[in-house]
Amino acid sequence: MDIVAALMDGLWVAVQPHNLALAVIGVVVGLFVGALPGLGSVNGVAILLPFTFVINEATSDPAAPMIFLAAIYYGAMYGGAISSITLGIPGASTAVATTFDGRPMALKGQADRALVTAAVASFIGGTVATLFFTGFAPMLSSVALDFGNPEIFALMLLAFATFIGLGGDDIPKTLFSIFFGLLLATVGFDTISGEPRLVFFNEREQTALLETIGASTQAVPLFDSVSWFSRGIQFLVLAIGVYGIGEMLWTINESRYKVTMTETTISFSRIMAGIVGMKDAWKGTTIGSLLGFFVGILPAAGATPGSLMSYGVAKMTSRNPRSYGEGNPDGVAAPEAANNSASTGAMLPMMTLGIPGSPTTAVLLAGMVIWGLEPGPRLFEDRPEFVWPLIGSFYVSNVVAVLVNLAFIPLFLAVLRMPFTILAPVIFVLSIVGTYAAYDNMYDVWLMVLFGFGAYLLRILDYPLAPAVLAVVLGTTAEEKMRQSLLLSDGDFAIFWNPFFDRDGKGQEWWIAPVTTWIALILIALPIIIWAVRKMRSGSAAEA
Amino acid sequence: MRRAEFVTAIILALVSAYLMWKSGEGPEWDTEYIHWSNTGVNIDGSGPGKGFWPFYLALGMLISCIWIVINTIRRTSPPSRSEEPFMDGYAKKMLLLVGGGLIGFLILIDLVSMYAAIAVFILYYMLILGRHPLPLCLATSLVVPFWLYLFFDIVMTKVQPKGTRWIEDTFYNPAGEFFRGQSLIVIVLFFAVSGAVLALTARSARY
């Protein structure tokens, strides 16, 4: 009953005019951001994060900025399907699987049906996940109270392991990406000793360089006696660089500006027919809703693997798997239900454990920290005035999102007809203005563009960059928890993996860290074991 | 693609090795510091040093790079098997035009202000790369920075760079005084009117 009462209170706050207006604006913005090629929920949330400072000041409501960002997140999940279906290129990585059957449906003249299926499946997935969230979040938060430093570090390790276990990407490149992101997070002042580290181009190096080229510091105005790197590398700088600049450069190269558009018509009767036609997509919707949520709550798994796995399971369990890829509505419903379900699920570890489940929740986490909210085990107990309105807003945003999506489909189609050579410079401009607005200095803007170029070049060579973006957010906490744990154990790593390690009464639930660490280690080793088994099988087959 | 995969991995391996060395560095002011002494796991009973975590992360990067190099030699990764060039002529041209445009944009920000630089960049992009009609390019390059100015500088008071003192005094200070004196409804009207101008221009250009 406590949960029901708290939820009712939260819903009441969520439907207050200012929060409702923010949810509507956020959903509309998110739909556009999600629908625009080259932009996804992470771009929308990252670019619009500075805007929430104004919202916070204007409303004085701690939940209002998060309601706005969560609505963008939801809207983007709905919107991702629009360009997947109509343009044939996914609006975001979470909508990649939607392209597999959405585009063939559009080519068969069923773009309207595909769009309606995607919207309704998204609504069902989002609502199912929110119901799970309401039921399980307080329970998980009370379990999370038992988490000490070793347990949280073990969870972080699990988060990084899921990239490798679930990612399916090139393993050494995924590992490189994780290590690189974690390393970027260490640049600047060490939070424990207070000493600078990895501060490139510091005074000593500047002097050495200037002596080499025979110039003085005054002669080169770019040089400052204090290196800009001592400020650290801000998360948004990397996120906007990778997703705003790098992805756009990659899209320009891949699409060659020839983004083709499918003509389609939308009318009320066709929308209703699409909703009735959802009975053909119930299986995909169910699989996506359930699987998406459970993949979403895994630390650092997120909506992309959730939607891809749901598509795979829906196809695997289908009586007619060959119809997938040819325009099967289940093939649209499964990934769309899953990416919405997973996006809600990913909020759970973010809020209760402080571990983001996706790049977007990583930005949301950063936003919460900026506004003085401390995600973690005590959030539900300490800040109910923030948590329950946010959960209430999930329900509200879902209803708003499906209505706005269905109503605005013709308008989105019109905007998507905008030539890519107009869209691209506007996105570049937004990335640069957004970065400057966030940090008030050109150093971060230059660094962001540099990361963008680097991300583009690495993307051509199939380096996955999402792990780096996630790692740069988790990095500071991961290091802090690891160092504090090792301080507790006098430098003995057994504190992480040995359930019988004597913590001298300093720990709480001793089994959690070892079990989590071992699961993480198995997940890390799993792809290598699978690779070895395949090698052995192919070897024995060759012998036979 | 194969050569690019190999060369990139080698460069990243060298960067990783440099970062390992850099992690062992002490503070600039400590002249008696011995290199690497902060990378231990339990220094004087106070836990890992400040260089411990970055050192082993950089080591992880180095090992990953060596693994990538081995995969490239054994041709087990898709890019190492690819016969396609790392960048074809179109990709190089686009990187030069788009990347060069972005660099030019950033240089212009300090010289002529953020909003003037945005106008120049959009005009360049739409006219040179997009080959859109001049009226539409001009309208977009004026309206978009105007919207951003209203939103960031006036509504959000997130002030963007204003270029030289002369540009700031001549253009931005009077404009700021004018717009800050208006109510939010008037600002929204400015948004709407400029949007309508852009829409009409786009329509007349048959977009």
For chain B, give the mean pLDDT: 89
- State the angle between helix axes of A111-144 and A64-86 in degrees (0 to 180), rounded to the nearest 10: 140
User: Is B184 or A436 the better-scoring residue by pLDDT?
Assistant: A436
Of A171, A197, A426, the CB nearest to B50: A197
User: Is B30 or B125 the better-scoring residue by pLDDT?
Assistant: B125
Domain span including residue A141: 2-185+233-543
Considering the domain architecture, whether residues B35 and B57 belong to the same structural domain is answered as yes
List the one residue out of A488, A484, A495, A478 whose CA is nearest residue A161: A478
Confidence (pLDDT) at A207: 73
The answer to whether A71 and A27 are in contact (CB under 8 A) is yes
Is residue A170 one of the residues assigned to a domain? yes
User: Shortest Cα distance from B30 to chain A (angstroms)?
Assistant: 11
- Residue type at position A327: G
Considering the domain architecture, whether residues B126 and B194 belong to the same structural domain is answered as yes
Mean pLDDT of A323-327: 81
Of A186, A193, A432, the CB nearest to B54: A186
Among chain B residues, the shortest Cα distance to A205 is held by B28
Contacts of B129 in chain A (CB under 8 A): 421
Is residue A221 one of the residues assigned to a domain? no
**Tell me, what's the ipTM?**
0.93
List the one residue out of A87, A470, A124 whose CA is nearest residue A286: A124
- State the angle between helix axes of A96-107 and A329-345 in degrees (0 to 180), rounded to the nearest 10: 150
Pairwise CB contact (< 8 Å): A432 & B105: yes
Is residue A203 one of the residues assigned to a domain? no
Q: Rounded to 5 degrees, what are φ and ψ at B46?
A: -110, 30
Of the candidate ranges A165-169, A246-250, A407-411, B172-176, the one whose mean pLDDT is the lowest? A165-169
With cut-offs at 50, 70 and 90, classify the pLDDT of residue A16: confident
Of A53, A172, A197, the CB nearest to B71: A172
| B82-99 b/e (C-beta count within 10 Å ≥ 16 → b) | beeebbeeebeebbeebb
Domain boundary among B57, B81, B105: B81
Domain boundary among B59, B81, B103: B81
Pairwise CB contact (< 8 Å): B152 & A186: no
Q: Is pTM, for the whole model, over 0.90? A: no
Is residue A200 one of the residues assigned to a domain? no
Considering the domain architecture, whether residues B109 and B70 belong to the same structural domain is answered as no
Domain count, chain B: 2
Tell me the CA distances in angstroms from A69 to A47, A79, A359, one per residue in order.
11, 15, 13
Considering the domain architecture, whether residues B177 and B147 belong to the same structural domain is answered as yes
For chain A, give the mean pLDDT: 79
User: Shortest Cα distance from A427 to chain B (angstroms)?
Assistant: 11
Considering the domain architecture, whether residues B96 and B153 belong to the same structural domain is answered as yes
First to last CA, chain A: 65
Mean pLDDT of A367-391: 78
Pairwise CB contact (< 8 Å): A419 & B130: yes
Between A and B, how many CB-CB pairs are < 8 A? 174
Is residue A130 one of the residues assigned to a domain? yes
Only one residue has tokens 């990538």, namely: B68
For chain A, give the percent of residues with pLDDT over 90.
Answer: 8
Of the candidate ranges A281-295, A335-349, A370-384, the one whose mean pLDDT is the lowest? A370-384
Confidence (pLDDT) at A543: 65
Tell me the CA distances in angstroms from A433 to A5, A66, A482, B72, one per residue in order.
43, 22, 36, 39
Contacts of A490 in chain B (CB under 8 A): 42, 45
Is residue A193 one of the residues assigned to a domain? no
Residues with Cβ < 8 Å from A67, sequence gap 6 or more?
A14, A19, A22, A23, A26, A389, A390, A393, A397
Question: What is the C-alpha to C-alpha distance for residues A90 and A38, in angstroms, rounded to an integer?
Answer: 8
Confidence (pLDDT) at A445: 92
Confidence (pLDDT) at B96: 93
Considering the domain architecture, whether residues B105 and B69 belong to the same structural domain is answered as no
Mean pLDDT of A233-248: 80
Considering the domain architecture, whether residues B108 and B146 belong to the same structural domain is answered as yes
Tokens of A399: 């209803």
pLDDT digit string (tens) for A246-293? 878 887 887 765 655 455 566 677 777 778 877 888 888 999 999 888
Of the candidate ranges A26-40, A136-150, A165-179, A343-357, the one whose mean pLDDT is the lowest? A136-150
Is residue A422 one of the residues assigned to a domain? yes
Instruction: Determine the Cα angle at A428 with ends A422 and A432, to 5°.
Output: 145
Domain count, chain A: 1
Domain span including residue B197: 89-204
For chain A, give the percent of residues with pLDDT over 70.
Answer: 83
Confidence (pLDDT) at B85: 85
Considering the domain architecture, whether residues B35 and B10 belong to the same structural domain is answered as yes
Considering the domain architecture, whether residues B197 and B96 belong to the same structural domain is answered as yes
Tokens of A262: 């499918």
Confidence (pLDDT) at A168: 53
User: Is A322 or A143 the better-scoring residue by pLDDT?
Assistant: A322
Considering the domain architecture, whether residues B153 and B193 belong to the same structural domain is answered as yes
pLDDT digit string (tens) for A152-178? 788 778 777 766 754 455 788 989 999
Of the candidate ranges A465-469, B52-56, B120-124, the one whose mean pLDDT is the lowest? A465-469
Domain boundary among B62, B81, B100: B81
Q: Rounded to 5 degrees, what are φ and ψ at A441?
A: -155, 150
User: Shortest Cα distance from B60 to chain A (angstroms)?
Assistant: 6
Confidence (pLDDT) at B15: 96
Residues with Cβ < 8 Å from A60, sequence gap 6 or more?
none
Q: Rounded to 5 degrees, what are φ and ψ at A188?
A: 115, -150
Is residue A216 one of the residues assigned to a domain? no
Contacts of A171 in chain B (CB under 8 A): 67
Of B53, B60, B126, the CB nearest to A186: B53
Considering the domain architecture, whether residues B67 and B94 belong to the same structural domain is answered as no
User: Shortest Cα distance from B170 to chain A (angstroms)?
Assistant: 22
With cut-offs at 50, 70 and 90, classify the pLDDT of residue A333: very high
Question: What is the C-alpha to C-alpha distance for residues B206 and B190, in angstroms, rounded to an integer?
Answer: 24
Considering the domain architecture, whether residues B128 and B197 belong to the same structural domain is answered as yes
Residue A158, burial from CB neighbour count under 10 angstroms (0-12, 13-18, 19+) = buried
Tokens of A364: 């949301």
